[in-house]
Chains A and B, each alone.
Chain A
Amino acid sequence: MRELTYNEAALEAVAEEMRRDSKIFYMSTDALPPLLNEFGPQRIKATPITEAAFTGIGIGAAGCGFRPIVDWRQVTFCFVAMDQIVNQAAKIHYMFGGQVTFPLLFRASVGGGGLVAAQHSQSPYSMFMNVAGLKMFLPSTPYDMKGLLKTAIRDNNPVISFESSRLMGRKGPVPEEDYAIPLGQADVKREGRDVTVVALAWLVHEALAAAEALDKEGVSVEIVDPRSLVPLDAETICSSVRKTGRLVIADEAGPTAGFSAEIAAVVAEDAATFERLAAPVKRVCALQVPIPYSPVLENHVFPDRNRIIAGIREVLDAKGPARAV
């Protein structure tokens, strides 16, 4: 099968959908050249650097029958549009009694690794997961990126495509034929027996490397990639944990009230899964600090394959919750 980068897969999904549906148009502070060349400035609009305005413009156009794609580029730039995202886009369909739909795709890169310091290395998806009315996903491969993006563009709700900046140039197989991946469907990236690692984006690849290393020691690691954050495929996660009895959650964001906290809660709340836990849940996350600039500091803050290995060893050694017999 041919290979595309993560970024190429995203652009291919956008271009294919734009060819299919003339109601789709694209707004971003810089017009992306391949899209601009094919679709022209009427559909690929370069906006002023005013996310509050063009996010709201996207909402309004969506309510009038268009299907806008609003590309914030980096997630950090969307914070000036929080009123439009949280007060308007997330609530407008519900608040107006469902009378019209707001098909709207937001794109935002997340994550660190670029040595660009605190404002440009963020992974704030759990802030958005907390807001009812938004769907969102964070893919780990070019294949998942294209399939999820196509679904999101066809969805009749505001959907945020979080895209890992560390993975932009990473290649992977992407079929030529049309396909779409439903939101709310996790993917088991590696099957195993001894421990479940739930990981997102770049950390899926770090977890795969960790699993390879541990395989040599006879430890069998299962890796579940939720892919979609809202809706979340709790069943695939719980069913894996019921099988292995141990859970490590790896996330490039900090732990506090984060994606990792949500996964831990989902597993702890499900009685059938909780009773199979043989060890406390372990979270392998970024430190709860703004992301620093210097490589020495940045490396210290982010989790990687070594910390995932350490986390796995910890849950393999630990004892489970005491249970009444």
Chain B
Amino acid sequence: MMSLSPNLPPDKQREMLRQMLMIRRFEERASADYLAGKIYGVVHCYIGEEAVAVGVCSTLKRDDRIISTHRGHGHCIAKGADLNRMMAELYGRQTGYCKGKGGSMHIADFDIGMLGANGIVAGGISIITGAGLAAQMEGKRGVAVSFFGDGASNAGPFHECLNIAAAWKLPMIYVCENNMYAAQTAAAVTHALSDVAAKAAGYGIPGVVVDGNDIFAVYQATNRAVERARAGEGPTLIECKTYRWRAHTERRGQPDPRDPAEIEAWKGRDPITRLERQLRDQGHLDDAGLRSMEGDVMRVLEAAVTFADASPFPLPEQATDDVFAA
């Protein structure tokens, strides 16, 4: 069972479903285009974890800031990134968010408060804590959200930043997406505690465990944390228990040591199906509404692919642009 909807208007609830669908369809396409050779390097898919990004970002304002991980498409889309520029970046084109210099692991859009995907585990935590400090100094009640995985919660910067954020009462929300695996290694092998959220106690801040596949549970926990942060009461650690359906990366032939039965079991807890079912049960969605939503998502996606495919590659000599700012 998933949590009942908080007092959110049906439009907002449908929008949350649409965003989760958008993430899933975007990544299905990114994976296919990667295997077809149109996207280069590496792609890390977020499929199965969509409720975390959308649940968290649905509580935020445009000026609030987030930072992502190597598995960053979902956070970008949930914060409102432009699909055309995202896909163009994956395609390595001049029109991409990073002019073809970043690719899947480095998409950022500072205008919407998306401070970037980051290819180093735990690499973004201190940067977004700096955004939290900036928000505190700006004094406009802004907050900053750090997305990171269970792997990062064992790294030094996580602990260093939780301590500083707690000591300085920074308006931070630390969101651990615990998908139970750090690349190929099971959390059970490397974690001293089964709950990442328990680490909050060491810094005297709230630590909350939620079902990360229950979008309203994520939303409500984040909402409380955001209110606390905006009120100047300091950071919260939220651990979202979730699961990635696909392998660590889309690389062909990459071993996936996980038990297929485990993967299937988690597919049975699909956050998208759960929200869809609840919206239907409450009379907020019918077949026609869902078809129209799916159609809308696919139109946006196809337009993004067309835009990316039609966009020029960077000129070779642009490799030397933007090493330094003017």
Contacts and interface: CB of A to CB of B under 8 A. Distances in A.
Interface of A: 25, 42, 47-48, 50, 52-66, 68, 80, 83-84, 87-88, 92-102, 132-133, 135, 156-157
Interface string B132-171: 1111011000001000000000001100110110010000
Given A93-B325, A98-B325, A133-B323, A60 B129 contact: yes
Contacts of B120: 83, 87-88
B116 interface: yes
B110 interface: yes
Interface stretch (B2-10, B50-58, B98-106, B292-300): B98-106
Q: Which 5 A-B pairs have the closest CB atoms?
A: A60-B130, A56-B126, A98-B322, A64-B134, A53-B160
Nearest to A66: B134
A292 to B, nearest CB: 30
Given A53-B160, A97-B322, A156-B326, A60 B126 contact: yes
B130 A87 contact: no
Given A56-B127, A63-B127, A48 B167 contact: yes
A96 B97 contact: yes
Q: Interface centre among A60, A62, A100, by most B CB within 10 Å?
A: A60
Nearest to B135: A64
Contacts of B126: 52-57, 59-60, 84
13 contacts: A47-B164, A50-B164, A52-B160, A56-B129, A56-B130, A59-B126, A60-B127, A60-B128, A60-B132, A61-B133, A93-B322, A98-B325, A99-B97
Interface in B64-82: 65, 67
B131 interface: yes
Given A56-B125, A88-B118, A97-B98, 17 more contacts: A47-B164, A50-B164, A53-B161, A57-B164, A60-B144, A61-B133, A63-B130, A66-B134, A87-B123, A88-B123, A92-B116, A94-B323, A95-B106, A96-B108, A97-B97, A98-B99, A99-B110
B232 to A, nearest CB: 14
Contacts of A87: 119-120, 123
Contacts of A47: 164
Contacts of A58: 130
Nearest to A81: B126
Given A52-B157, A93-B322, A99 B108 contact: yes
B321 interface: yes
A291 to B, nearest CB: 27
A53 B158 CA distance: 8
B235 interface: no
Q: Interface centre among B115, B126, B161, by most A CB within 10 Å?
A: B126
A135 B324 CA distance: 9
Contacts of A133: 323-324
Given A60-B133, A99-B108, A48 B164 contact: yes
A63 B131 contact: yes
Contacts of B325: 93, 98, 101-102, 156-157
A61 B134 contact: yes
A93 B127 CA distance: 13
B183 to A, nearest CB: 17
B234 interface: no
B207 interface: no
Nearest to B103: A95
Contacts of B119: 87
B48 interface: no
A57 B137 contact: no
A287 to B, nearest CB: 33
Contacts of B156: 50, 52, 80
Nearest to A96: B108
Contacts of A157: 324-325
